[in-house]
A and B are shown apart, each in its own frame.
Chain A
Amino acid sequence: SQQGEEDPQALSIQEGENATMNCSYKTSINNLQWYRQNSGRGLVHLILIRSNEREKHSGRLRVTLDTSKKSSSLLITASRAADTASYFCATDAFQGAQKLVFGQGTRLTINP
């Protein structure tokens, strides 16, 4: 079964609004990463948060991690049309294999 589960599966908002996506996982992790994918092809790494971190910022992105709840959130502030994409969280198992386990993703649409 999938390690990461994103919520919601799809999100549609107006340009300028904030977008929040959530991710839950099942086992202990080393770190959690968020990726963006446009047009079903290559993924772009957005941000990595380690298991001992609680919050991380990068530009308009804010990621939180709650290891007690095994959940993470990605906040995109002041959304732009170019933010339209699918967003995936990915985790690697603590002391396990280094492979990333991805969720099904959240499809974000920013309406002009």
Chain B
Amino acid sequence: GAGVSQSPSNKVTEKGKDVELRCDPISGHTALYWYRQSLGQGLEFLIYFQGNSAPDKSGLPSDRFSAERTGGSVSTLTIQRTQQEDSAVYLCASSLEAEYEQYFGPGTRLTVT
């Protein structure tokens, strides 16, 4: 079946602009995660959605970052007033339920100039 998809695959934006990154999880997966990976680094947790529960936003680095998940499926990560340090690959993952293996999308490479 289809895996996790993300769009766009690459995004170049000017400092100060807002960006929206989209994630389509695997159908039926109740848990959805956003991570960020800076150049040559491991993955940094950003936010986690599980069913209808309140999301775990503990990893969001600043209030410029927000995410929503509509209808328990598609998720959008929004970064307002982008900064150069926001440049990274943003990865989305979904899992059947919490505590199960996570399946990752190909990521969105964000470059802030």
Contact = CB atoms under 8 A, between A and B. Distances in A.
Given A2-B42, A43-B91, A88-B42, A100 B107 contact: no
A100 B42 contact: no
Contact of B101 (A2, A40, A45): A45
Interface residues of B, number: 29
A6 B48 CA distance: 24
Nearest to A40: B89
Contacts, number: 63
For the residues of B in contact with A, the DSSP-based class is strand
Contact of A100 (B33, B89, B103): B33
Contacts of B45: 99-101
A42 B48 contact: no
13 contacts: A30-B99, A40-B39, A43-B91, A45-B103, A98-B98, A98-B99, A99-B45, A99-B56, A99-B59, A100-B35, A101-B45, A104-B42, A105-B42
Interface of B: 31, 33, 35, 37, 39, 41-45, 48, 50, 56, 58-59, 89, 91, 93, 98-107, 109
